[in-house]
Structure 1
Amino acid sequence: MILIKLAYKSLLNRRASVLLTLFTIAISVMLLLSIERIRVDAKSSFSNTISGTDLIVGARTGDIQLLLSSVFRIGYANNAVSWQSYEYITSQRGVKWSIPISLGDSHKGQAVVGTTPDYFKYYRFAKKQQLSFQQGGVFEHLNQVVLGSEVASSLGYKLGDEIVISHGMGNTSFHHHKDNPFHVVGILNATGTPVDKTLHIPLAAIDLIHAGRHSSHTLDEHDEHDEHDEHDEHDEHDEHDEHDEHDEHDDLIGEPTQITAFLMGFDSPLYTLQIRRNINQYKKEPLLAIMPTVTLKELWQMLAIVEKVLLLFSSVVVLVSLLGMLTTLLANLSQRRRELAILRSVGAKPWQLFTLISIESLLTTLLGCLVGAGLYYIVMLISSSYLQSYGGISVNIAMLSYYELTLIGVIMAAGFIIGLVPATRAYFYSLSDGMSIKT
């Protein structure tokens, strides 16, 4: 107990250098814990880029290729799915919901997705979070578009603006649909997923604008005609309001000849496995059904090198901070030779000097770890919303996990071992050596 008090007072007496060492350790601990938490949560968030979807169905290709094209908008689908097959498969027992998507168009390098209002109702990301609107709402007419948050912010769009989409993905566009502009009616909140970089238009609009390349009809004229017919029908048949709403929903879907892919949700996992097997054995056309959670894990395993780099980086940071502590302790030890000699002269034994220096290094490491853990929680609280919105990482701010506590324990042990180096040198300092230092 006396040695602990003496070590504490010794640290206070040298508080400037001790605080510098403590701060260095705290920063390294904060970085280590932050990188470890982001690594774990990034893996979890990556796996939840699309959440709550049981199956993704597309033309037969590789599992990862279908995932990349339908969810991440990377690459191209080799073939399409016929609308008849989509209707047949989604009418099977156990299907809770389905979302058809049609790709192949773009706007200034950003992907355009043709879909239905069910997309905004059933699509989930992260931990089954539903899409929400920053401004506006879901499209209700064929000439309306809903923007992802990054599309709106990077291109400076607001509600009411007109947008012309182009045929072709990415920055390569082969035809601009100038005769069929879309009006912005909704802007989604940031999700940190490919949804942020996507423009969403009604599925029926895809066929109409492509047919419009050889026709004088436009989306506006089509909507005006539909609105006029609906108005007349409403005047004549007020009792059919519910039926009209259903027809309006169908107008946004249309009768496309084919789609790129579709997402499915089921009432039970048993239906998922059964229908997946049936789709993969479908005889009318070659189709592939994948479970996105499984395929995402396979894709992450291909990116395992990222995890290794993060772990290596954090380990190097901790090692550098501990080596800095060793340098400081050795430098201070040279200045304390007279102090140690005086302690020997009043009866301190060599092993007591050894223990004193060891306790000082252990206390410094302990305080550094505690401060580092505090800084870690502050950084996570401040950056969690930013990481979710712009990095797609849903940070789980909770008590330190067993593995994270083990990491701190390893740092404590490493700090103690490093402290043995100056402690050993102090052990062998003799009284005459300390008293004979020349000034």
Structure 2
Amino acid sequence: MNLRSIIALAFSSLMSRKGSAILTILAVAVSVMLFLSVDKLRTAARTSFENTISGTHLIVGARTSPESLVLFSVFHIGNPSANMTWESFEWLQGREDVDWAVPISLGDSHKGHRVVGTTTDFFARYKYRNETPLTFSEGEAFADLFDVVIGARVAEEQGYKLGDGIILTHGLGDVSFSGHDNLPFRIVGILEPTGTPVDQSVFVSLEAISAIHVGWESGAKSPIANMMTPDRVRGMDLETHSISAALVGLTDNKRLFLAKRSIDTYPQEALLAAIPSQAIASIWKLIGVAERALLAVSGFVILVGLVSILTAIMTSLRERRREMAVLRATGAGPHHVMFLLISESALLAALGSLFGIVLTAIGLYVLAPILETRFGLALSDFGPGVFDLQVFLAVTIIAAILGIVPGWQALRNSLADGLSIKL
């Protein structure tokens, strides 16, 4: 009895028990699909996270940690511990090695969405995912003092359209009783979805940030603030005195570290220049524990699937004692019986793994547009790859090793029974 005939016999034996074999294959397929899906989504999440901002060489703000600076300026999480003066921004903007600089001012919100004060250069300079620029699905950048541009998710969640009026509020809560009700804004632009914090943001001019804070100098609303009207504010000096941070593009990327050192040692103000890619990688190390834990859990699910193979074969041994006796009577040796059970285990795992890989590819192909639009997860490679092949081989080999257990039990049964089957 050669290897080919044993494998053919193993396949025929499985086909004679189609019900349990199909259920076992499905169990392995689902576990493999879960493991591969988690791995591909984990990779996509990390790539998308790292590509939240692209083409910006430095982010400059008041001295703090690089991670904190990137979190509040790019991801809009938290607030700066201190602001950067406008004089320092002008110095930064005038440096020979600086090609462009875009100011950012944070502090207010609208129904839980961060309000970002900036200039129209932001819409031209901010890039994400392989230097993809921002584009407008409707309207254009703000031009008037009380114009506002909103991200795609803001428009979707709040049901906004061009021309709608909105009220900005002081602070970051979803519900605030400190609103700038007397100074309404008008939506003039809606951005295309990006899968970045831009989608959840509301953009106004720096002058607008100054306008809504007239009478708020103490941090609380004063009677002067209640007296402000749009026409009255327009006639005031709305000079910007400080900003939260600045996005910077250099004339030459080779001067990155020299520029960073020069900014970090600026004598007039304690500034910090953070390299976005480095800070984001550091942040991912902190939050990446969860995705590694999820991958480990899905790995244990594969083990459960493999145990189901072992259970299915072990429970069938008692019913198959006559089959084993017949095999021994027709010339099959002990090692043939052992290899038969190992082959069955490996076949179940191989078929289940293959089915799981196919299901993963189909599922991610269907969900790819939704994941990119809703969550910013760009699945560039959802088809079978090297890692899928490694998982296929690993699951098959482990199953073959586990098949030694029922193989050994079948061998013992056949040796004890001889040609007389004990029922």
Is structure 2 residue 166 aligned with structure 1 residue 160?
Answer: no
Q: Give the Cα separation in 1 of the matches to 2:318 and 2:230.
A: 83
What is the rounded CA distance, in whole Å, between the counterparts of 2:214 and 2:419 in structure 1? 95
Q: 1:215-236 CA distances to partner (integer Å, 9 max, x unpaired)?
A: 756446777x9xxxxxxxxxxx
Cα deviation for residue 184 of structure 1 reads: 1.3
- Post-superposition Cα deviations, 1:81-124, rounded to whole Å, max 9, x if no partner, equal 12222122112223222211111111122210011122111212
Shift in Å, 1:399 = 5.3
- C-alpha displacement of 1:281: 0.8
Q: 1:370 & 1:133 partners in 2: Cα distance?
A: 43
**Counterpart position of 1:29:** 32
In structure 1, C-alpha distance between the alignment counterparts of 2:298 and 2:401, rounded to whole Å: 19
Which stretch of structure 1 is more off in the superposition, 50-59 or 213-222?
Answer: 213-222
Task: Identify the residue that residue 296 of structure 1 maps to in structure 2.
Answer: 280
- Residue number in structure 2 paired with 1:231: none
1:353 aligns with 2:337: yes
C-alpha contact 1:180 1:220 (8 A) present in aligned 2? no
The whole-number CA distance in structure 1 between the counterparts of 2:402 and 2:349 is: 10
Q: Structure 1 residue 313 and structure 2 residue 313: aligned? A: no
TM alignment of 1:100-111, pairs within 5 A? 100-111=103-114
Q: 1:167-316 to 2 correspondence within 5 Å?
A: 167-171=170-174, 173=176, 175-211=178-214, 214=224, 218-219=229-230, 255-316=239-300
Q: Would you say the 8 A contact 1:83–1:255 is kept in 2?
A: no
Q: Kindly state the Cα deviation for residue 322 of structure 1 after the two structures are TM-superposed.
A: 0.6
Residue 331 of structure 2 is aligned to residue 328 of structure 1 = no
Q: Distance in 2 between matches of 1:169 and 1:413?
A: 54
Instruction: Label 1:132 to 1:337 Cα distance change in 2 as closer, same or farther (>3 A).
Output: farther
Matched, 1:64 2:70: no
> What residue is the counterpart of 2:367 in the other structure?
383
1:413 counterpart (393, 397, 400): 397
Does the 8 A contact of 2:329 with 2:419 survive in 1? no
The question of whether the paired residues in 1 share the 8 Å contact of 2:105 and 2:243 is answered with yes
Choose from 34, 55, 59 the match for 2:58: 55
Query: Which of 372, 378, 381 is residue 394 of structure 1 equivalent to?
Result: 378
Contact 1:144 1:182 in 2 (8 A): yes
Q: Against the structure 1 CA distance between its residues 180 and 383, is the aligned structure 2 distance closer, same or farther, given a 3 Å change threshold?
A: same
Aligned AA (2:402): I
Q: How far did 1:201 drift? A: 1.0
Aligned-pair CA distance for 1:326: 0.8
Q: CA deviation at 1:64?
A: 1.6
Structure 1: distance between partners of 2:148 and 2:254? 36
Would the aligned equivalents of 1:29 and 1:369 in 2 still touch at CA under 8 Å? Answer: yes
- Give CA-to-partner distance per residue, 1:239-291, whole Å, 9 cap, x none: xxxxxxxxxxxx9xx74111111101123212322221111111111111100
1:337 CA displacement: 1.4
> How large is the Cα RMSD of the aligned pairs?
2.4
Give the match for residue 421 of structure 2: 436
Partner Cα separation in structure 1 for residue 126 and residue 181 of structure 2: 30
**Alignment size in residue pairs:** 411
Would you say the 8 A contact 2:361–2:384 is kept in 1? no
The SS at the match of 1:185 is strand
> Is 1:191–1:390's contact at 8 Å kept on the other side of the alignment?
no
SS at 2:137 equivalent: strand
Task: Output the CA distance in 2 between the equivalents of 1:334 and 1:34.
Answer: 37
d(CA) in 1 for partners of 2:292, 2:373: 25
Cα shift at 1:396:
2.5
Q: Secondary structure at the match of 1:426?
A: helix
The TM-score normalised by the length of structure 2 is 0.90
Matched, 1:129 2:128: no
Question: Which range moves more in the overlay, 132-141 or 142-151?
Answer: 132-141
1:297 is displaced (CA, Å) by 0.9
Aligned partners of 2:354 and 2:392 also within 8 Å: no
Structure 1 contact 112–198 (Cα < 8 Å) conserved: yes
Contact 1:212–1:218, Cα closer than 8 Å, also in 2 = no
Shift of 1:393: 2.3
SS at match of 1:385: helix
Structure 2 SS opposite 1:93: coil
Q: Could you tell me how far apart the structure 2 residues matched to 1:400 and 1:97 are?
A: 42
